[in-house]
């Protein structure tokens, strides 16, 4: 099996360290500002904020699709759609990146409120 050099990236974690240039098999490996490993997006400051932003964007897109495509707003129809399609993104890797800042928590709670507003009779709760 051959090693794919094109998929290799260097992520410099320390701000004060010199930015060494690395090579693999005579080819220079590119630097990257952030990398995704095992589903977790990490930047050079070991900050997971982008993980929450991307999860919220993906879930807002899914909620928009559900809202446009499903005519019924009953709890029996919306909940079985939202649970498997939206919830996993909100919960993905939360043990690792846990919402460290209030704005990240607010962002994810906004997605949950939007899903709640879609259900007839639950608009008051959000």
Q: What is the arithmetic mean of pLDDT over 23-46?
A: 80
Specify the pLDDT at position 65: 94
Helix (H, G, I), strand (E, B) or coil at 1: coil
Residue whose structure tokens are 């904020």: 49
Q: Which residue has the higher pLDDT, 124 or 87?
A: 87
Specify the pLDDT at position 42: 76
Tens digits of residue pLDDT in 55-81: 889 999 999 999 999 999 998 999 898
Q: At what angle do helices 102-118 and 75-85 cross, to 10 degrees?
A: 150
Tens digits of residue pLDDT in 101-126: 777 788 888 888 898 888 888 766 65
Phi, psi of 73, rounded to the nearest 5 degrees: -115, 20
Specify the pLDDT at position 25: 81
Q: What is the residue-wise DSSP string for 36-104?
A: EETTEEEETT---HHHHHHHHHHHHHHHHHHHHH-----HHHHHHHHHHHTHHHHHTTHHHH---SHHH
User: What is the chain's alpha carbon radius of gyration, rounded to the nearest angstrom?
Assistant: 20
Average pLDDT, the chain: 81
Judged by average pLDDT, the poorest of 9-23, 49-63, 79-93 is 9-23
Which helix or strand (DSSP H or E) is residue 10 part of? strand 9-10
Residue 26, pLDDT above cutoff 60: yes
Look at the pTM and tell me if it is higher than 0.85: no
Strand 9-10 relative to strand 23-24: parallel, antiparallel, unpaired?
unpaired
């Amino acid at each position: 099996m051959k090693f794919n050099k094109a998929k290799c990236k260097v992520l410099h974690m320390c701000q004060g360290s010199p930015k060494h240039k690395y090579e693999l098999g005579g080819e220079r490996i590119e630097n990257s500002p952030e990398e995704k490993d095992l589903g977790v997006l990490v930047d050079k400051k070991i900050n997971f904020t982008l993980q929450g932003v991307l999860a919220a964007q993906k879930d807002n897109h899914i909620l928009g699709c559900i809202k446009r495509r499903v005519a019924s707003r009953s709890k029996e129809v919306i909940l079985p759609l939202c649970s498997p399609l939206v919830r996993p993104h909100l919960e993905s890797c939360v043990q690792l990146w846990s919402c460290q800042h209030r704005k990240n928590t607010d962002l994810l709670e906004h997605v949950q409120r939007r899903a709640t507003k879609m259900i007839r009779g639950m608009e008051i709760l959000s």
